[in-house]
Structure 1
Amino acid sequence: MFENDESECHDEAIGRTTNALQSKSYMPWHKPRKQWVRENQWWKSLEKLLVDNPGPFSTEKSVKYFGLPGGELLDIDYLTKKMGESAFFNNRKLLVHGIVKSPGDKQTADSRLAELLDRSNVDPLSRVDRCNFEALENDSSMLWRNVKNVAPYHLVNLDFCDKVFEEKTIIAVHKLLEYQFSAILEKPWLFCLTTKIDNSNSNEEVLKRLDTCLHSIEEDELSIFNLQEHFEAVFTAISNKKNIREYADDEEIFTNIFLVGFVIWIVLKALTNDVQFKLMSSAKYRVSDSSSVPDMYSFVFEFKKRFVPKADLTGLAPHCGNHNQNTSDGLSPKEKIIRRLAATVDLDGLLSNDADKLMSCIQETKELLKGCGWNVSDYEDYMCPTIQVLDQSHSEE
């Protein structure tokens, strides 16, 4: 962690670099499953946001994006390409506020952004800062000043390579969500979060607080019923008043309890701010060779804060402040989100059983990588084990 504001965020001008991108090996975010996330979670959710809400976005000339895009800006490249192909964006631009951590990523991002700014649908006010995301823990940080110059955002995309569950990171997420909740009224926006969920080196204080979130639904009979139906181990843990750490030796149960507790934390944040929410998409895959279960989760939430008058505590203006968050199908938000979690897409299974989709993701990833200077002649060799498994399974059918 950086120790002061100056080292947390470096305000450097965007400029083109002369060296071509050089990388020694493919990274996890170059895998086809990440392209599935870009297309089916981030892009399709963004497109649906504008398709379903033409009124609230009618005056928006730019879609404001905040994220952790990495130096190559692959996500920005893909989203702006898709925006250019979609009639629903009506020549809108993408205003990017990205943050990267290392000087090398900053240099690469500057070069890539200079190229992307040549596109007509990339807002010239786009910027990439070199910061720690955790700088948002500090209310007076330069990153907060930069955020307030751009925010509120229509799409917040926190794509963490590792876990979000360190205390400083959780506080930063909390403050960013609180700012968004307070700044946007009667207009939906997207919150995308990718994080590792496993039992390795989990922060003990964070685990204790997740226990509190988890047990907050103990008195909610319908939510408990849905847990019993879809997450029996979580239901058992709550019923027996167990805490998360007691299941550390059982990877699958620990992951499910952690998962439900964390999502309930997000639910409670929305409810306490009178914010309506949906879990639009949920996917999982395995990133650790040592893991026996999927350990990386990718979520897309849609939030919308409606105007809800506060109750008049004097009683002079009666019948104010009533608010029911039940959805049109009669389900409470907690019930619905538990059902959506139970339907989380397993990307490893999906792509291993769908050769056409896998090859489509491979080709799209190659195009993105070529666009930022990669020689992708060996990309199929890199993916060879996956393709061989597919070929073998098809030959046995």
Structure 2
Amino acid sequence: MDRGDELDSGLGYEDVSHAKVTLKRDFLPWHKPRKQYIRSNQWNNVIGRLIDVLDLKSKARSLEYLSLPGPDLLDVRALYSTCAEKKVRIRFTGLNAIAVEDKASTMDQLISLDELRGLEFIDPSSGVHQDQLQRLSNKSSIAYQNVIKQAPTYDVINIDLCGSFLESPPKDEQNNYYEALFELLRFQADNRSDDWLFFITTRTNQDMVHVETFKRFVKVLEDIFDVDQAVYDKCNELNIFSADVLVDRKIDISKVDNLSFNNLVSAGIGKWVLSALTSQTPSFKSKMLKLFGYNVKLDPNSTCDMISFGFWCTKMPTKAVDVFGLAAGGVNLNSEDSEVAVSRCRVSVIESISKIVDVDQHLSNDEEFELALNSSVRLMKSARYDVISYVAWARKEHAKVMRLLAERG
């Protein structure tokens, strides 16, 4: 759903008069075409559907969007064309902790904010706040005050991490992603009625997942096998794990290879999000959407180790009867049974894992890579990057991945 040509006409750096702007030539991992492929084909595609479901255009309401945008605000720039096509404004809220001494990034973010706020389909009240997501559970933090206390709920939450949110030990007393994300998920469940989207991108390789967190994921999954036959059957049907890893409802950790490890972690993340949203009322069911992944470690023996997860979250009506016996009927008595709904969501996790889109493999097709590259070029141009240097860099990085795929056979 990418329409980068619209960005070209609306985000020109020549409009910024308060600073001298030069074209940038320092490129980062999330600048690669494969990341733009995910922005277009996972995030923007599903967000476009949500805009229609929520009927935001006829309601004349902005899309409430929370993310970790970085100084270039690339995710917002990419999403802009989708919202412009729908004629719906974006009201974005961002968290981005820039070091005081990093004047260049600070100026870059100010220019980006100036560019975006001047566009027709950007809500001018949008902003980026100087704090870390990990501090969200700290009630006195800038993050908490601006993301939760003084904010509405969000239509879309997009947590795009460079590393892993699973590196900390469970119940660590320090600020960490577990506390922050749980706070955010419960904020949505406790205060929202409409459908919403949750995206999280994280590393899943073994050296970036705390061993205790992994063990808890395994234990929870085994507990689910004991009570939900459908999930166990689906794991076996779709061969989620390598041979001898799953036997008689137990997971043999000693047999876990890279593929099984990633799939166990992916299942754990899906079950954790679902549990956070359904363990208490009000509750939301979270259907895991198609996963997208790629390789950060150029290791022939590894598999996708950066995975972008998506969840479509829908409120679960609470069934109620009058305990006094005065009312003959009840409320929501014909709604889906909560246990059935949760089981379906659990199964959706397994199904999504089995159908993950390996973006590196997909872009090994020359035509598909060129489409992704062209889309990425338009995005990078809008953010004031030197396009000629960018194309040379992107092709060089793509060649490394192609060599990796060839080595794997």
**Normalised TM-score (structure 1):** 0.83
Conserved? CA contact 1:282–1:344, under 8 Å: yes
Give the Cα–Cα distance (whole angstroms) in 2 for the partners of residues 68 and 379 of structure 1: 23
Query: CA offset at residue 356 of structure 1?
Result: 2.5
Q: Is 1:94–2:84 an aligned residue pair? A: no
SS in 2 for 1:206: helix
Q: Is 1:334–2:346 an aligned residue pair? A: yes
Give the Cα–Cα distance (whole angstroms) in 2 for the partners of residues 222 and 126 of structure 1: 44
| Residue 387 (structure 2) aligned to one of 362, 373, 376 | 376
5 Å matches for 1:20-31? Answer: 20=21, 23-31=24-32
Give the Cα–Cα distance (whole angstroms) in 2 for the partners of residues 75 and 305 of structure 1: 27
Q: Is 1:75–2:75 an aligned residue pair? A: yes
Give the Cα–Cα distance (whole angstroms) in 1 for the partners of residues 88 and 57 of structure 2: 10
Which residue matches 1:272?
A: 279
SS in 1 for 2:317: coil
5+ long unaligned stretches in structure 2: 1-15, 169-175
| Residue 239 (structure 1) aligned to one of 237, 248, 251 | 248
Which residue matches 1:159?
A: 160
Query: CA offset at residue 204 of structure 1?
Result: 3.2
Which residue matches 1:356?
A: 367
Give the Cα–Cα distance (whole angstroms) in 2 for the partners of residues 95 and 21 of structure 1: 28
Query: CA offset at residue 142 of structure 1?
Result: 2.3
After superposition, the Cα gap between the structure-2 partners of 1:206 and 1:106, relative to the gap in structure 1 and judged at 3 Å, is farther
Give the Cα–Cα distance (whole angstroms) in 1 for the partners of residues 319 and 106 of structure 2: 45
1:91-141, Cα deviation, whole Å (9 max, x unpaired): 321111011122344432221011111101111111111111101121332
| Residue 345 (structure 1) aligned to one of 357, 363, 367 | 357
Which residue matches 2:191?
A: 183
After superposition, the Cα gap between the structure-2 partners of 1:347 and 1:327, relative to the gap in structure 1 and judged at 3 Å, is farther
Which residue matches 1:260?
A: 267
Which residue matches 2:221?
A: 214
Give the Cα–Cα distance (whole angstroms) in 1 for the partners of residues 401 and 134 of structure 2: 40
Query: CA offset at residue 327 of structure 1?
Result: 8.2
SS in 1 for 2:44: helix
Query: CA offset at residue 364 of structure 1?
Result: 1.6
Give the Cα–Cα distance (whole angstroms) in 1 for the partners of residues 351 and 157 of structure 2: 24
Which residue matches 1:129?
A: 129
SS in 2 for 1:137: coil
Query: CA offset at residue 57 of structure 1?
Result: 6.9
Partner amino acid, structure 2, of 1:40: N
Aligned pairs, how many? 368
Conserved? CA contact 1:64–1:94, under 8 Å: yes
1:188-243, Cα deviation, whole Å (9 max, x unpaired): 11111111101004223322332333223112111100011124427944736347
Query: CA offset at residue 60 of structure 1?
Result: 4.8
Give the Cα–Cα distance (whole angstroms) in 1 for the partners of residues 260 and 131 of structure 2: 35
5 Å matches for 1:33-72? Answer: 33-54=34-55, 58-72=58-72
Partner amino acid, structure 1, of 2:114: A
Conserved? CA contact 1:74–1:368, under 8 Å: yes
Which residue matches 1:10?
A: none
SS in 1 for 2:303: coil
Q: Is 1:174–2:218 an aligned residue pair? A: no
5+ long unaligned stretches in structure 1: 1-14
Conserved? CA contact 2:290–2:355, under 8 Å: no
5 Å matches for 1:108-123? Answer: 108-123=108-123
